[in-house]
Structure 1
Amino acid sequence: MGKRDFERLHHVAFFDAMATELPDEYEPQEVNHLTLVYFAVGGLSLLRELDRINKDEIAKWVLSFQVHPEANDDIGVGLFYGFCGSRSTQFPLPNVKDPCRDVSHLASTYSALAILKIIGYDLASIDCKALLLSLKKLQQPDGSFMPTHIGAETDLRFVYCAAAICSMLDDWTGMDKLKAKEYILSCQSYDGGFGMVPGSESHGGGTFCAVAALHLMGFIQVDLASNLRDSTSIDICMLLKWCLQVELVLNHVSAISPLVPSHVIL
């Protein structure tokens, strides 16, 4: 198979379509509509094509997914006042009792705020008091985060989402950073990479979430030398060694079998 050039215009057209409506082929992913739009808007931003979309309409659409407390709601009871991922998760079906309905999600909240930030919306205008107070309720005693108030798995993905949310809102009252750091450090494996949970195999996605969250929280710096001098942070030398080993494996496999996707190897 010959090498193909990057078809920029095709990518732009695809992202443009995905940013405004969900194609039929993606209907099974409707529950992740907000996240899909985040990828589309992010793609347009990378390609310097954000002017193709109506930013005001996108912002209005995203903000419509935010869950707000009712007048008599007690913010401290454990509900999460973030963003729902789609219309089907925002409004309950008639005569159907489903605990997943009308539930905001940590990943959807991250996607919503990221979209707004990419298109230049002033995040300071968002009423984030209830969001941050309820976000802190999702943090577990070990420092990890549940993605919703009804309970689910806890792993590094949601620690990263929480850190990114607090960073974008420029308000860290929504999480205990030291507890989150302890959890992240417990996920570093013997080989230097990070598993999604403590004791699990090193994983590319988990490693990104760990390093990115630590950087957002201010525990590691862009300057590599500073990190090497800080014994309270992650084992940078082992992490770099793991990253280089993974790169060598990917390059070797790609050379002998270019049709094998990298995610299969990882």
Structure 2
Amino acid sequence: MIDHYDWAGGREAMLRFGPATGPVVVAALPLFEEANRTRAFVVTILRLLAARGIAGALPDLPGQGESLIPTHKTSILKMQDAFGFACDKFDREGRNCYAIGLRSGALLDALALAVGRWHLAPQDGPQLFRELTRIKQVELGGRPLGDSWYFDNALPEEAGDPPVEIAGTPISTDLLTDLQVKTPFDEPGIPRRVVRLDTDPNPADRKVDAAPLWRRAEPGNDPALTALLADDIATWVRTCES
């Protein structure tokens, strides 16, 4: 069903799935262009979790989805703050909240009072910044870019933080600066499970044989992978709850 949540910056939409009681999995999509390639994938996982008796939610964050806040007016802190408020909605109902993040979505649950975190192929801020730098470098004909390239290529603005356009998306220079120091939440005493593709050499609690949907030119889905991941999340949540 379509719901909403309120945060300091206004009201945002939120899709909800599954039972009205018990633990809730709240999902964060990757930043910028990857979300269009993975939204249907994450929605499918949440629907499969609902069929397994685990509730789920997918909030629009500032600058994502149907949010009225433009992409270049958002920031990592605003998205983290909003995600925290989305989780608070369930905490006020007395329900345990578990955050799941895909790729750079793993950067957005840092302020949430989640009792656990599940991350698929988590990407830290410096990794995403390097990818965005490479994209902009190609757009500029391959010429080398200095450390302050995003300030040098910012769009003209009358006031405030001027954005830089990368792959057709305007992104604030403040957000790009913040990315360079952001890492996924990983604190002692709070459960965190990391799942990666088997082609990823980084450490993980589990590795799966699958193709990276976020590398495709168009949005897609993978029914076998969504079922496998839904089973993994459901088992992990029930283990945490026991």
TM-score by length of 2: 0.26
Which of the pair has the greater relative contact order for Cα pairs under 8 Å at 6+ separation?
2
Larger Rg: 1
Q: Between Structure 1 and Structure 2, which shows a larger proportion of strand residues? A: 2
Q: Between Structure 1 and Structure 2, which shows a larger proportion of helix residues? A: 1
